[in-house]
């Protein structure tokens, strides 16, 4: 029994150590980490280009997968509502520019998808996950105000209904 208890303690210690090694997402009320990544058009997009606007920065695992397609379609469906609230949508995954270009074309997406194949920005935003031996972006979203401060953090997002949730929070934060 002592050996079993010791093994359980060692297992828990190793699990908490590996969780501590994972980068943590930036907190609400902090300055959003700056970044510059290529979009599906190949042009560099940086956060500071959007000073004066609200930014919905959402991380997603993979182009052309069911949950990611649902999430992207919902943001696209609501794009006029975001525009009316002075907000832009930026999606980030570890896929390539070419993958994003194909995904946007196939799914009719008009907002920017940013390629982070080196995992730089997904690491900075604590949005990394391992899946079947691959490093992917975890499904997290950051609502950033016009001055670059993170106003809301959404972790482990469910793709269905997420756009509506972000819009409701945006409306509340804007007091409109």
Residue 82 burial (CB count, 10 A):
21
pLDDT for the residue numbered 174: 95
Kindly tell me if the per-residue pLDDT of 54 is higher than 80.
yes
Of 40, 99, 97, 109, nearest to 72 by C-alpha is: 109
Give per-residue pLDDT as tens, 107-126: 999 999 999 999 999 999 99
d(CA 119, CA 172): 32
Active site residue 68: yes
Of 106, 92, 77, 86, nearest to 164 by C-alpha is: 77
Kindly tell me if the per-residue pLDDT of 10 is higher than 50.
no
Grouping H, G, I as helix, E, B as strand and the rest as coil, residue 152 is strand
Q: How confident is the model at residue 21 (pLDDT cuts 50, 70, 90)?
A: low
Please state which of the ranges 14-23, 131-140, 152-161 shows the lowest mean pLDDT: 14-23
Of 57, 68, 88, 138, the catalytic one is 68
Kindly tell me if the per-residue pLDDT of 4 is higher than 70.
no
Domain ranges of the chain: 25-174
Average pLDDT over residues 146-172: 96
CATH architecture for residues 25-174:
3-Layer(aba) Sandwich (3.40)
pLDDT for the residue numbered 176: 64
Q: How confident is the model at residue 2 (pLDDT cuts 50, 70, 90)?
A: low
pLDDT for the residue numbered 22: 72
Average pLDDT over residues 69-85: 97
Q: How confident is the model at residue 1 (pLDDT cuts 50, 70, 90)?
A: low
Please state which of the ranges 17-21, 85-89, 130-134 shows the lowest mean pLDDT: 17-21
pLDDT for the residue numbered 6: 42
Grouping H, G, I as helix, E, B as strand and the rest as coil, residue 128 is strand
Higher pLDDT, 12 or 154: 154
């Amino acid at each position: 029994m002592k050996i079993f208890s010791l093994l359980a303690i060692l297992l828990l210690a190793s699990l908490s150590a590996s969780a501590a090694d994972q980068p943590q997402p930036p907190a609400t009320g902090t300055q959003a980490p700056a970044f510059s990544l290529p979009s599906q058009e190949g042009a560099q997009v940086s956060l500071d280009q959007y000073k004066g606007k609200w930014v919905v920065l959402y991380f997603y695992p993979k182009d052309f997968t069911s949950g990611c397609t649902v999430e992207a379609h919902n943001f696209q469906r609501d794009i006029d509502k975001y525009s009316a609230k002075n907000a832009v949508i930026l999606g980030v995954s570890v896929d390539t520019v070419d993958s994003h270009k194909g995904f946007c074309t196939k799914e009719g997406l008009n907002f920017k998808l940013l390629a982070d194949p080196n995992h730089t920005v997904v690491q900075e935003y604590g949005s990394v996950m391992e899946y079947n031996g691959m490093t992917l972006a975890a499904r997290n979203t950051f609502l950033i105000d016009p001055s670059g401060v993170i106003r809301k953090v959404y972790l482990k997002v469910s793709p269905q209904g997420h756009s509506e949730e972000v819009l409701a929070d945006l409306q509340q934060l804007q007091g409109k």
